[in-house]
Structure 1
Amino acid sequence: MVRGKVLAVCQSGGEFVTGRDGSMSYSGGEAHAIEVTGDMKISDFKAEISSMFNCRGDTFTIKYFLPNNKRTLITISNDKDLQRMVDFSAGSNTTDVYVLKKVEHRTSRSVVADSGTPTDATATLVTLDDAKRRKLCTTGWESMLNGVGQVFDGPKAFRDALHKYAIANSFLYKFIKNDGVRVTAECLAENCPWRVHASKSPAKQEFTIKKMNNTHTCRREIGKEGHRLASQRWVASVIKERLRESPNYRPREIANDLNREYGLNLKYAQAWRGKFVAKKELQNPHEEACNQLPWYCERIMETNPGSVATLRTTDNSKCHIFVAFHASLSGFEHGCRPLIFLDGFSLKANKHWKLLAATAVDGENNIFPVSFSVTEAETIEQWHWFLLQLKSALTMSRTITFVSNKQNGLEDAVAQVFEDSYHAYCVHQLTEDFKRQLDDTWTQELKDTVLDTFQRSIYACKAEEFNECIESLRAESKELAEWVLSAKPEFWSNSFFKGLRYGQYFSKCAETFNSWISIRYEPSVMQIVDIIRCKMMELMYTRRKSLDSWSETLTPLVNQRLEQEMTKARTLDVICTTGSVFEVRDDSINVVNIETWECTCRRWQINCLPCIHALAVIEQSNGCVYDYSSKYFTTEFFRSTYSLSINPIPDAGKPMCMDIVDMTASCPPRIHENGWST
């Protein structure tokens, strides 16, 4: 035959038999012939095989023997391998090619030996029909958890492994503890002792199985309750590749396949939702963002003059949108304390996107959104761009204190963009970091004690108070005390922090925004932004209306707090030393300077509201407490915060409604009692 072309006889479904001399022969199965040329691509060759044997390209390997050598199988894995096979077989009219089941390389399973000889008993190709007759959990899920000492990348990786392990081993479980530090789960069956506990090691920061009782006394049959393990995300992850190859993969077929393969009994709606999520994940979210967002940014600035809406598209086609409404910018600059919380978090409603947010607090300590960005990843580059947009949007020059979780290099980014600002660490995140240092060797009582001491070190106003806390911690653990000192107290302890936090140390921004966008379908980027706009518009109107019932100079929350403190202040002894300096005695002696708004306890300077000693002086000297409180706590400044409104965008709903119609048009059909609907 002509050189550079050979007829490949592709065989599958049989088995190899090894003779006494070490040579192998293949018997059984079926065979098909394919003409292979020297310039044929491996992808085309595999596509032909997939079509002939009704299988997926990722489920098999292709091997052949060299001429006059029946002992060693040669693997074809790329274009050059295929060309070599044609060249080696140039003197023959045909060559035998073996399509073999792909074997995973795990110590717990048989593998292909170095010689190329399959060491498992079968060399058959797994077809789609074969896959439906066996459970896919033979891919190793039944051994995903193998005992104490097993290490995972983090709590999410452990939870994923636990989920697959439970499905493969046919049992249900429940979480006893489930957070970023530790995960404990036990079998859901009553009195069954199966239990596993994994946590992060303080030293190596690895997430490791610490305890595991691998004994089941239950029947371990998922049965009708199997749907509890099959979340729509999990179903989507299982069927995604099949759906990519077969777009018409129907929910009824999905449910039947998962029943065969995993023993799970799913409802039609569950299978449909899993397919819906998988389709969304297979779609490119950038196309929607790049098509709709430029128009929407223009509409924001047209309907809300003075607002900033910036769209950034990178070289790899990723889109990032920054939004700051004029009403928010004005409210922050004219009514809120110069205090901004920076938070980045995943959106529960759409895992494709993250939200970066800058929020302030009003005179009632409510969250006040200043600006936000929807982006695909929370990176230092993205935060730097966000801060640049924020700085450009602000018109007033004030020294701002930023509070963050110090994530992704924010400490450096803030210092670069807002050069004269202060940066504090979120004490909520700091407390969680502290808890991670306390492993299971600590009793709960001792954990509570050292945690209380650590929190006192955060709010300690004087260096000596902070040092007392450190010594108390050192008495329990030298390593723990050193960890606290190495955590840069100058960024979080009142004793050393140079900026002003006005009594605010952390934000619940993530919970607020995620509660706003808690909807049943995955919103697009434009829908996310518009939902936030609507919520902010409602928030500003509601809080502005609340002012109608206010009659005091200070906000209700601050009034209530100072009244409670005043009751205690009246019991203190006050001695005037000069016209503006007073000595106040309680458990200790404190000096108050009424003119400079200072007290030696330092709480007045830190919170910008009179401390109990200052209140005692104000009361005795017949002063007005309003005159000694920060303007940011007054009703007047609260009114300025909400003086402007966010305007509607009349035609913003049109593209959104189109998306919703498309989604609801393919909602699960009604199911008749006598069977599945088609």
Structure 2
Amino acid sequence: MSSGKILAICQSDGEFVTDPDGSMSYCGGEAHAIDIDSEMTFNDLATELSTMFNCNADAFSIKYFLPRNKRTLITISNDKDLRRMVNFHTGSDTTDIYVLKKAESRAIRSDVTDSGTSTDANTDSQAIVEDVKRQRICNGWDSMITGVGQVFSSPKAFRDALHKYAIANSFMYRFLKNDGSRVTAICTVEDCPWRIHASRSSVKQEFIIKKINDAHTCGKELSKESRRLASQRWVASIIKDKLRDTPNYKPKEIVNDLQREYGLSVNYSQAWRGKFIAKKELHNSQEEACNQLSWFCERIIETNPGSVATLHTSDDPRFCFFVGFHALLYGFEHGCRPLLFLDALSLKANKEWKILAATAVDGENDIYPVAFSVVDSETNENWHWFLVQLKSAFTLSRCITFISSSQNGLEEELPKVFEESFYGCSEEHLIENFKGEMDNSWSQEMKDKMIDNLKRAIYACKVDEFNESIENIRIQSKELANWVMGMKPELWSNAFFKGLRYGHYSSGASDKFNDWVSARYEPSVLQIVDTLRCKLMEMMYSRRNSSNSWTMALVPSVNQKLQEEMIKARILNVVCSTESVFEVSDESTNIVNIETRECTCRRWQVTGLPCVHALAVLERIGGCIYDYCSKYFLTECYRLAYSLSINPIPDVGAPICSDALHIPSACPLRTRRMAGRPKEKPEEPRIAIKRAVRCSKCQGAGHNKQTCKAQI
């Protein structure tokens, strides 16, 4: 279920049975299923249940069990109780709710009281309260590891998930293998069979769980050794948010909070070191980054006139940095189609920051970065700020089509800034979500077939072509077809999309930016920005040089494509109607209007290039193909995109010392060495001077007396 919403099975008129282990189960009665979300009130739930079971809301009470606790019933009596229940069970497939007559409820409490002493009842009550607190704090951690096939972005992401999973499930583990390509862990208790192994896949290089035995025979009880789970960096990551709000957070308080909230025993030294690391990450790195970027903004504007470089700071150390180089902004406005892809990128080299990027495509369909921003997280507020800066950087007013993922709030934020723009969903995002809807019961061959049908629906230019693809999906699964139709085809299918994508559906910005920024060392924010600047500067130069040798009016890839299409067009039958309207027949009959540049197949309008029917007409009347292509595919327009250069910025690698910036002897390009042995030798290895070998027998050089061949 999605976050904040659960599927509740409501049961009534049955009875509870106590099992041998002390847990309770509910037998008999009537059951109904309803959806409950965090917005539902207690009165709404009571009204729904009274209607469902035909009883007075005042005559019954509503109860449920906590996850993994079938011994104690928890009562829902107000809105806060209901929200807690939803939070406790978010992520569960189903949740059981019991509607009990108030007499039955009192009887259950009486039986429990009679079966034990008051001291035991108080102890159990306290344990339940502590368990509730722990479940609330560690909510979702127990499902961080789901099983074989689960994918993680990196070995570090897997280790972090495993760490939280162990804390939530109260057991200790140790690594048998732990490196960049594989991780194997086992339970520390001898003879406990729990074991997990994850490694990189050979195809996509993703980090995947390959084997797992999730059965514990050790009782899963944390002991004093639990302090080993609380590493310094883990403690820092847990207390960072609280430390931001409470700078005087004491190590003793950290020890008590970790014991109470997570059940972990740590000593004062661990808490102190964790606080030190968190404080350093919060203040030193952020403040240093702000100071460096403030200096860098001035240098960008000074060396590249017309560029936009903005640093936005707040009361806390958080900041947003935006840069758009004049050469790229000019090239996009004069040489690239009005199409922008908006992506939030997480760099492999430094996952502390997010890159918000606006990228276009040139005439050769290569990625063309226009502007980017460095932020601490992807939020609607940061996206809105980025879009405002992007709009202010443009000098020309034109209608732009934006393509992005529909999960980052851009569908709501874009119209607030770019009023006349069009918004669409990327092909890659849609296909990934579609794959997630198909479970393991589907064969790989059938999955590929369904994905092909979805792609045909995306590329379909006419409604009947789209409907045919959807029907092919519906034949195999009505649920999948309904899911596809529910994903708003007007945002991604050519048959309904109002904007112009010119046949381009995904950006590929994530791979490009990660290729540019090396993951060997963890770079600072300034290093990331300056590395991207250097790569963009080199990109502009190399593509401008390569285009100088082109002799055709169209860019090479488009020219080759049209030549191949022309071979097919020559066999089509063309019938003239007027000077501008023609009838072209192949498997079907299409009407071409060369004056309005339209064809009833709609491919000319969608791609900006003459379709095969239009090419047949142009061949018939002897028209020039280049005059009927969108200008963005012309060599002249391509050269305009790369006509300007990004100028170098001197002294970026030199130490900065500025009283105004309060950075005493700070070096912008300081790096933190990554774990592991360096794979490359030093650039200037130490030269060893060897003493010449001289033979003691013949006094000759280059050998010794053992290998001497002289006759004495």
TM-score range relative to shorter protein? 0.5 to 0.7
> In structure 2, what is the Cα distance between the partners aligned to 1:665 and 1:427?
35
- Alpha-carbon deviation of 1:159? 6.2
From 149, 165, 173, the counterpart of 1:168: 173
Question: Matched residues in 1 for 2:448 and 2:671: separation?
Answer: 53
- Matches of 1:337 and 1:324, distance apart in 2: 18
2:361 corresponds in structure 1 to 361
Which residue is 1:410 aligned to?
Answer: 410
Give the direction of change, closer, same or farther, for the CA distance of 1:597–1:113 in structure 2 (3 Å limit): farther
C-alpha distance in structure 1 between counterparts of 2:577 and 2:342, whole Å: 45
For residues 441 and 179 of structure 2, what CA distance do their matches in structure 1 show? 24
1:658 aligns with 2:667: yes
In structure 2, C-alpha distance between the alignment counterparts of 1:562 and 1:438, rounded to whole Å: 38
**Residues 355, 574 of structure 1: CA spacing in aligned structure 2 closer, same or farther, 3 A cutoff?**
same
Q: Which runs of 4+ in 1 moved over 3 A?
A: 112-117, 143-150, 152-167, 169-176, 184-187, 192-197, 209-216, 233-242, 276-284, 659-669
Q: Deviations over 1:620-660 (max 9, x none)?
A: 21111101100000010011101111111112222489355
CA contact (8 A) 1:196 1:213 kept: no
Instruction: Kindly indicate whether the alpha-carbon contact (under 8 Å) linking 2:522 and 2:671 is maintained by their aligned counterparts in 1.
Output: no
**TM-fit CA distance, 1:213:** 4.8
Whole-Å Cα distance in 1 between the matches of residues 461 and 574 of structure 2? Answer: 22
Write the distance in 1 (CA, Å) between the matches of 2:365 and 2:277: 38
Q: CA deviation at 1:392?
A: 0.7
For structure 2, the residue ranges without an aligned partner over 5 or more in a row are 1-118, 128-137, 187-192, 199-208, 217-227, 244-248, 250-273, 657-665, 679-712
Query: How much has 1:341 moved relative to structure 2?
Result: 0.6
Report whether the alignment pairs 1:424 with 2:424.
Answer: yes
Residue 348 of structure 1: CA displacement?
Answer: 1.6
Change (3 A) 1:194 1:153: closer
Contact 2:145–2:162 (Cα < 8 Å) also in 1: no
Equivalent positions of 1:234-383 (< 5 A) are 237=234, 281=281, 284-383=284-383
Question: Residue 562 of structure 2 aligns with which residue?
Answer: 562
Calculate the TM-score normalised by the size of structure 1: 0.62
Query: How big is each residue's C-alpha offset from its partner over 1:112-139, in whole Å with a ceiling of 9 and x where there is no partner?
Result: 987679x99xxxxxxxxxxxxxxxxxxx
Q: What displacement does 1:428 show? A: 0.5
Change over 3 Å in CA distance of 1:637–1:652 after alignment to 2 = same
Aligned-pair distance for 1:597?
Answer: 0.8
Deviation of the 1:374 alpha carbon = 0.4
How far off is 1:237 after superposition? 4.2
CA distance in 1, matches of 2:485, 2:180: 34
CA distance in 2, matches of 1:277, 1:558: 54
Identity of aligned residues (%): 55
Equivalent in the alignment of 1:517:
517
Whether contact under 8 Å (2:144, 2:162) holds in the other structure is: no
What TM-score results when the alignment is normalised by the length of structure 2?
A: 0.59
What displacement does 1:521 show?
2.3
Could you say if the C-alpha distance between residues 484 and 170 of structure 1 is closer, same or farther in structure 2, counting changes exceeding 3 Å?
same
CA deviations 1:581-628 (Å, max 9, x no partner) are 111111111111111111111000000001111111111211111011
Mapped contact 1:339–1:361 kept (Cα < 8 A)? yes
Distance 2:236 2:288 in 1: 24
Q: After the TM superposition, which residues 92-241 of structure 1 pair with which residues of structure 2 at under 5 Å, given as runs?
A: 160-162=160-162, 168=173, 171-172=176-177, 213=213, 237=234
Residues 483-562 of structure 1 aligned to structure 2 (within 5 Å)? 483-562=483-562
**Paired residue type of 1:651:** D
Q: Aligned letter for 1:387?
A: L
Per the TM alignment, residue 449 of structure 1 is displaced from its structure 2 partner at its CA by 1.6
Change in Cα spacing, 1:392 to 1:445, as seen in structure 2 (3 Å) is: same
Residues 159 and 396 from structure 1, CA distance in 2 versus in 1: closer, same or farther, beyond 3 angstroms?
A: same
Q: Which amino acid aligns with 2:590?
A: N
Determine helix, strand or coil for the equivalent of 1:360.
Answer: strand
**Against the structure 1 CA distance between its residues 666 and 173, is the aligned structure 2 distance closer, same or farther, given a 3 Å change threshold?**
closer
**Does the C-alpha gap of structure 1 residues 369 and 167 become closer, same or farther in structure 2, counting only changes over 3 Å?**
farther
1:516 Cα deviation (Å)? 1.1
Contact 1:144 1:161 (8 Å CA) reproduced: no
Q: Following TM superposition, by how much is the alpha carbon of 1:283 offset from its aligned partner in structure 2, in angstroms?
A: 6.1
Corresponding position of 2:463: 463
Do the aligned residues in 1 keep the contact of 2:405 with 2:425 (CA within 8 Å)? yes
2:477 is aligned with what amino acid?
S
Once the two structures are TM-superposed, the CA of residue 333 in structure 1 deviates from its matched residue by 0.5
Is residue 173–residue 185 contact of structure 2 (8 Å, CA) maintained in 1? Answer: no
Give 1:561 shift.
0.9
* 1: CA distance, partners of 2:550 / 2:295: 41
Asked if 1 retains the 8 angstrom alpha-carbon contact of 2:521 and 2:671, the reply is no
Distance 1:210 1:488, change over 3 A: farther
Report how far residue 406 of structure 1 moved.
Answer: 2.0
- Pairwise CA RMSD: 4.6
| TM-aligned CA deviation for residue 436 of structure 1 | 0.7
One-letter code aligned to 1:595: E
Residues in 2 aligned to 1:194 and 1:668: alpha-carbon distance in whole angstroms: 28
User: Does the residue aligned with 1:408 lie in a helix, a strand or coil?
Assistant: coil
Shift of 1:476: 1.3
Q: Equivalent residue of 2:548, what SS? A: helix
Q: Can you give the 5+ residue segments of structure 1 that lack an aligned partner in the other structure?
A: 1-111, 121-139, 179-183, 198-208, 217-229, 246-273, 670-678
Q: Are 1:175 and 1:185, in contact at CA under 8 Å, matched by a contact in 2?
A: no
1:654 aligns to what SS in structure 2? coil
Does the Cα contact within 8 Å between 2:282 and 2:317 map onto a contact in 1? no
Contact 1:145–1:161 (8 Å) recurs in 2? no
The number of residue pairs the alignment matches comes to 475
SS of residue paired to 1:284: helix
In the alignment, residue 554 of structure 1 is paired with which amino acid?
A: L
Confirm or deny: 8 A CA contact 2:342 2:404 kept in the other structure: yes
Query: 1:475 Cα shift?
Result: 1.4
**Partner SS for 2:315:** coil
Distance, in Å, in 2 between the alignment partners of 1:602 and 1:549 is 34
| Residue equivalent to 1:399 | 399
CA distance in 2, matches of 1:298, 1:167: 52
User: What CA distance in whole angstroms lies between the structure 2 residues aligned with 1:332 and 1:556?
Assistant: 20
Q: Corresponding residue for 1:587?
A: 587
Aligned counterparts of 1:620 and 1:153: Cα–Cα separation in 2: 55
Q: In structure 2, what is the Cα distance between the partners aligned to 1:147 and 1:343?
A: 28
Please give the per-residue CA displacement for 1:210-229, whole angstroms capped at 9, x wherever unaligned. Answer: 9965589xxxxxxxxxxxxx
Deviation at 1:167, TM superposition (A): 8.4
Matches of 1:668 and 1:461 in 2, distance apart? Answer: 54
Any idea what the Cα deviations from partners look like across 1:340-360, whole Å, max 9, x if unmatched? 110112122112110001111
* Amino acid in structure 1 at the alignment position of 2:173: A
The Cα of 1:160 is off from its aligned counterpart by 3.9
**One-letter code aligned to 2:493:** S
Aligned to 1:341, the other structure's residue is in SS state: strand
| In 2, Cα distance between equivalents of 1:606 and 1:419 | 22
Residue 528 of structure 1, CA deviation: 1.4
Alignment check: 8 A CA contact 2:345 2:355 kept: yes
For 2:284, give the aligned amino acid.
N
Give the letter for the 1:168 counterpart.
Y
Partner of 1:67: none
In 1, Cα distance between the equivalents of 2:238 and 2:500? 53
Distance in 1, matches of 2:365 and 2:288, equals: 37
Report the alpha carbon displacement of residue 666 of structure 1 after superposing the two structures with TM: 13
Q: Quick one: distance in 2 between partners of 1:210 and 1:668?
A: 27
Could you tell me which residue of structure 2 aligns to residue 577 of structure 1?
577
Q: Relative to 1, partners in 2 of residues 1:443 and 1:514: Cα closer, same or farther, differing over 3 Å? A: same
> Aligned equivalents of 2:145 and 2:410: distance in 1?
38
**Using the alignment, how far apart are the partners of 2:298 and 2:175 within structure 1?**
54
1 CA distance for matches of 2:585 and 2:121? 85
- The range that moved more, 376-385 or 233-242, is 233-242
Q: CA distance change for structure 1 residues 153 and 332 in 2, over 3 Å: closer, same or farther?
A: closer
